[in-house]
């Protein structure tokens, strides 16, 4: 599929006239449409809820849009819990899927009534000691081995630090029941950025079988099963796009086949998608500052890996459109930022419409795990975040960092020699 920006050249130029590059731009309409499609795909399950993974795009305006569309949030740290609370989510609509957790984080999660999803068997005792046990507890499963779809190995749970073994899970539910816990959930995240409609249905069938086994062996009937995140998007134009309606139907089929005949037809399904909800609804907008020719042709832009780490960290592909010169002749270039690190490249040996000084480039699919993975190497600053609203107007939803922000933690530490 051809990647088409969600703004036209003229629209983007008007945004850039108001807000200097670089910035992350988010598409409100697209976010709402995806949230509605996810809710529709799982509407067959009465209590279904998507708990958006806050870490993907921790911006209050984005979280409010998702809240309006009926989503909850999933948090991994106390900071994310506080953010969600301040945005106006109540505990019922917050899940807390942490690992290696500090005691005060459990205390706060309990205080606000978030649903706690324990990563480790050992966390049961830790939570009890730190904050006491709530009425509802969810446990995170790690089946070990490899997670495969047919002959395709998707990921290696045995190498993952997350979750607990089946034996620990079974013991855990019994311990929790003995200690008075009333409602139980099951959670697993076995593969990331999957580009196949088979991931969720395959995972669901595995968890549904396990739910039946839990009921039969220890007599615990789960209240909810959380399929977590992991549905990917088509970062590369040649990738097939996932079809959330087909995915929802696949989970429905497994539900009817496995849970319903075993007396577990009232299990609620939850998801914790991050990437699928937001990634394709964000652009990193950047301007060409320098052109350089040595052994390669370099296009130097005003964004760098601090604004989007995925290419440097995972060698991830992000499509790039030269929206100022879309029909220019093709050139093979490296698109680079300004960090003193040679991995600061948004594209390597990429065919791109000729970039000229001042051209605006759109780096696609940066709406999730984009801004949020930002950092401050070389004293580079985090960019602004701008919402491209449904009414066709741009609104800033986070200002850019300033040098004062960067220096503030040095105040009072022999910083400024007078």
Q: Which residue's Cβ lies closest to ligand PLP?
A: 229
Between 21 and 372, whose beta carbon lies closer to ligand PLP? 372
77 scored as a contact of ligand PLP (CB under 6 A): no
Between 203 and 368, whose beta carbon lies closer to ligand PLP? 368
285 scored as a contact of ligand PLP (CB under 6 A): no
* DSSP code of residue 98: -
Active site residue 71: no
**Part in contact with ligand PLP (CB under 6 A); list of ranges 102-110, 228-236, 324-332, 379-387:** 228-236
Q: 170 to 209, contacts with ligand PLP by CB under 6 A?
A: 189, 192-193
Residue with tokens 């850019």: 400
H/E segment holding residue 331: strand 330-336
Question: Using CA atoms, how far apart are residues 317 and 319, in angstroms rounded to an integer?
Answer: 6
66 touches 49 (CB < 8 A): no
Angle at CA 70, nearest 5°, toward 101 and 60? 60
Q: What are phi and psi of 309, to 5 degrees?
A: -85, -20
CB of 230 to ligand PLP, least distance (A): 5
110: its two tokens: 């309990």
> Count of CB atoms within 10 A of residue 248's CB?
25
Strand 183-187 relative to strand 384-388: parallel, antiparallel, unpaired? Answer: unpaired
272 scored as a contact of ligand PLP (CB under 6 A): yes
| Cα Rg of the chain (Å, integer) | 23
For ligand PLP (CB under 6 A), the number of binding residues is 18
Q: 28 to 57, contacts with ligand PLP by CB under 6 A?
A: 53, 55-56
CB of 411 to ligand PLP, least distance (A): 34
74 scored as a contact of ligand PLP (CB under 6 A): yes
- Among residues 2, 167, 340, 403, the one annotated as catalytic is 340
CA of 267: how far to CAs of 27, 44, 122, in Å? 34, 12, 26
Between 159 and 404, whose beta carbon lies closer to ligand PLP? 159
Q: 331 to 390, contacts with ligand PLP by CB under 6 A?
A: 368
CB of 149 to ligand PLP, least distance (A): 16
Output helix, strand, coil percentages for the chain, rounded to the nearest 5.
35, 25, 40
Which residue among 248, 274, 337, 374 contacts ligand PLP (CB under 6 A)? 274
Active site residues: 340
- Residue numbers at the binding site for ligand PLP (CB under 6 A): 53, 55-56, 74, 76, 97, 189, 192-193, 228-230, 272-276, 368
């Amino acid at each position: 599929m051809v990647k088409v920006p969600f703004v036209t050249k003229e629209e983007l130029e008007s945004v850039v006239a108001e807000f200097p590059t670089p910035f992350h731009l988010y598409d409100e309409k697209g976010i709402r449409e995806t949230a509605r499609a996810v809710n529709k795909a799982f509407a067959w399950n009465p209590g279904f809820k998507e708990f958006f993974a806050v870490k993907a795009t921790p911006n209050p305006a984005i979280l409010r849009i998702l809240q309006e569309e009926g989503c909850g949030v999933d948090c991994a740290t106390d900071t994310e819990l506080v953010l969600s609370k301040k945005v106006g989510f109540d505990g019922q609509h917050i899940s807390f899927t942490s690992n290696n957790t500090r005691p005060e984080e459990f205390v706060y999660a309990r205080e606000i009534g978030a649903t706690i999803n324990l990563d480790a068997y050992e966390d049961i005792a830790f939570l009890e000691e730190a904050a006491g046990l709530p009425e509802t507890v969810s446990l995170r499963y790690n089946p070990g081995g490899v997670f495969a779809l047919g002959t395709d190995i998707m990921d290696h749970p045995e190498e993952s630090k997350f979750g607990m073994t089946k034996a620990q899970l079974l013991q855990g539910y019994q311990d929790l029941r003995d200690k008075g816990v009333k409602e139980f959930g099951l959670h697993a995240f076995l593969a990331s950025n999957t580009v196949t409609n088979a991931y969720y249905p395959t995972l669901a069938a595995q968890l549904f079988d396990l739910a039946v086994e839990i009921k039969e062996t220890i007599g615990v009937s789960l209240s909810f099963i959380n399929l977590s995140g992991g549905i990917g998007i088509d970062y590369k134009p040649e990738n097939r796009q996932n079809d959330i309606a087909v995915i929802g139907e696949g989970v429905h089929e497994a539900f009817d086949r496995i849970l319903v005949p075993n007396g577990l037809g009232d299990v609620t399904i939850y998801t914790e998608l991050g990437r699928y909800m937001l990634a394709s609804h964000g652009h990193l907008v950047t301007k060409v500052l320098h052109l350089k020719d040595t052994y390669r042709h370099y296009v130097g832009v005003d964004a760098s890996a601090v604004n989007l780490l995925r290419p440097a960290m995972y060698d991830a592909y992000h499509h790039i459109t030269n929206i100022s010169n879309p029909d220019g002749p093709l050139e093979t270039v490296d698109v680079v930022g300004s960090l003193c690190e040679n991995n600061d490249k948004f594209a390597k040996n990429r065919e791109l419409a000729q970039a000229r000084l001042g051209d605006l480039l759109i780096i696609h699919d940066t709406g999730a795990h984009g801004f949020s993975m930002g950092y401050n190497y070389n004293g580079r600053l985090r960019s602004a975040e701008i919402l491209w609203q449904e009414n066709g107007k741009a609104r800033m939803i986070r200002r850019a960092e300033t040098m004062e922000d960067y220096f503030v933690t040095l105040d009072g530490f022999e910083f400024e020699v007078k």
